[in-house]
Structure 1
Amino acid sequence: MGRSKLAKFAAIAERENVIEPGNELYGQLVDKWRELHFENDNPIVLEVGCGRGEYTVGMARLFPEKNFIGSDIKGARLWKGSTLAEEEELENVTFLRTFIENITENFAENEVDEIWITFPDPRPRDRDIKRRLTSPRFLDLYEHIVKPGGIIHLKTDNGPLYDYTLEVLQERQVKSLIHTSDLYNSDLQEHTMGIHTTYEKRYLAEGVKIKYLQYKVS
């Protein structure tokens, strides 16, 4: 591991806005995120696979009346989002370093109000289907921690992943499914709040159409 990554890991280990293995709060906030960490009763919005945390921070800026948690396993990526949140003194955003497979070990049933999946790795090979963040395996985890009526969103540039996810959701007969294969030529733009990640800006500059869908948890 390079010196830059080591420095970033050391930095996030000292930050109050990052919860990770080895931290005394890791695994101890189940059903207590509002009470012990945010110290309020506001809704919780979780971004899974948040990468650099640009979407998490972007939403936190727009909605101070909500709590935002960005989750990813890569600490060097979380360093960016946690740095922005710290510099801007955003008290309604934090980051959780964990594998998405362990998400139910960090949140109680019905504890989360909303989940975002933004530009995940599409895992195009058939042998990696179960690793797609919108596979039934992961949707079951999300739907366990999201309260009934809560919303799960997907935003992606990848056509095959979008088509796959849409097929999975239609098979599951989810409620209130809305979707578009061309977000910025649709009437669904307001749902994504005008937040663009670095990758999304690159895709748009290349003329790639952004896909979006959401549905409500039963």
Structure 2
Amino acid sequence: MEDSVFAELELAEAAKAVAGVRVRQHVNPLKASLQTQAPAPIWSDVFASTSKPLVVDIGCGGGRFDLMMAKRFPSTNFLGVDIRAPLVERGNSWGAHAGIVDNLHFAECNATISMGAWLKDYAERCDGEVEMVTIQFPDPHFKKKHHKRRVVQTALVRAIAEGLKPGARVFLQSDVKAVSEDMREKFERHGAHLAWAAAGDREGWLDENPLGVPTEREVQTMSSNGRCYRVMLVRNDTPA
């Protein structure tokens, strides 16, 4: 992967300086220890300028997407959020090694519990606005009894919709069609003030990633001739 789309990050060199991490692939967000509201980052400490618009990547995983976005779009702040502390710590270490720190930060939280307050805090304390929230390739939790563990739940949809101003976007994608359908259905049902930003195929999916930067999972999926199911929504003028 470091020899292709993410080559410019030079993470092969970073890996020599930054210790590897081992994390559980599946995390139960309903654990009692994960139900506490996490304090929002001190924005002036983690970003060189708080007047820039903010993109929040929920479930950032390995963080290569956020690193690439921050490098290519220095006029925007990027916040990668994950529930797994080791990935967050490594992401910040990789950013420091690559010299991508002014507009990039990784933070740990359970997004369902904390994201609403974090979006509100950025809007109130910073001159920049939240420009976009992305949720890409979340843990599918295939078993029906575990669907309540999926990232996109009613509370998160409402928190995101209420935390965005008109014109802000939400980008969703997964390589599991049922997961993308579930995310899209929840946003359509519980975020009535989020409307289609761009038409897709006859089922409503976008053929290409409109952001121009892939995630690790997206690279793996496309290289094996798989398909990604994507949708972009935009916040309209309807009061939340």
Q: Normalised by the shorter chain, which TM-score bucket?
A: 0.7 to 0.9
CA distance in 1, matches of 2:80, 2:165: 18
- Checking the alignment, whether the CA contact within 8 Å between 2:40 and 2:117 is kept in structure 1 is no
Aligned with residue 116 of structure 1, among 115, 129, 134: 134
How many residues are paired up? Answer: 189
CA distance in 2, matches of 1:92, 1:80: 17
How far the C-alpha of 1:99 sits from its partner, in A, is 1.2
Q: Secondary structure at the match of 2:52?
A: coil
CA distance in 2, matches of 1:197, 1:42: 23
1:83-134 deviation digits (Å, cap 9, x = unpaired): 2211121121001111112223433267222101111112223333333223
Aligned residues: percent identity? 21
CA distance in 1, matches of 2:93, 2:121: 30
- Does 1:175 find its partner at 2:195? yes
- Checking the alignment, whether the CA contact within 8 Å between 2:169 and 2:234 is kept in structure 1 is yes
Aligned residue number for residue 69 of structure 1: 79
Aligned with residue 103 of structure 2, among 87, 92, 112: 92
- Checking the alignment, whether the CA contact within 8 Å between 1:110 and 1:145 is kept in structure 2 is no
Aligned residue number for residue 57 of structure 2: 47
CA distance in 2, matches of 1:214, 1:110: 22
- Checking the alignment, whether the CA contact within 8 Å between 1:54 and 1:197 is kept in structure 2 is yes
Structure 1 stretch 120-129 or stretch 167-176: which is displaced more?
Answer: 167-176
Aligned residue number for residue 15 of structure 1: none
Aligned-residue CA RMSD in angstroms? 2.7
- Does 1:56 find its partner at 2:66? yes
CA distance in 2, matches of 1:136, 1:187: 27
Q: Secondary structure at the match of 2:186?
A: helix
In the TM superposition, 1:59-208 aligns within 5 A as 59-90=69-100, 91-100=102-111, 101-108=113-120, 111=123, 112-172=130-190, 173=192, 174-178=194-198, 180=200, 188-189=208-209, 191-193=210-212, 195-208=213-226
CA distance in 2, matches of 1:177, 1:28: 29
- Checking the alignment, whether the CA contact within 8 Å between 2:80 and 2:107 is kept in structure 1 is yes
Structure 2: stretches of 5+ with no match in the other structure: 1-18, 22-37, 124-129
Structure with greater strand percent: 1
Give the 3 Å change call, closer, same or farther, for CA 181–55 of structure 1 in structure 2: farther
- Checking the alignment, whether the CA contact within 8 Å between 2:116 and 2:156 is kept in structure 1 is no
Structure 1: stretches of 5+ with no match in the other structure: 1-6, 10-25
How far the C-alpha of 1:179 sits from its partner, in A, is 5.8
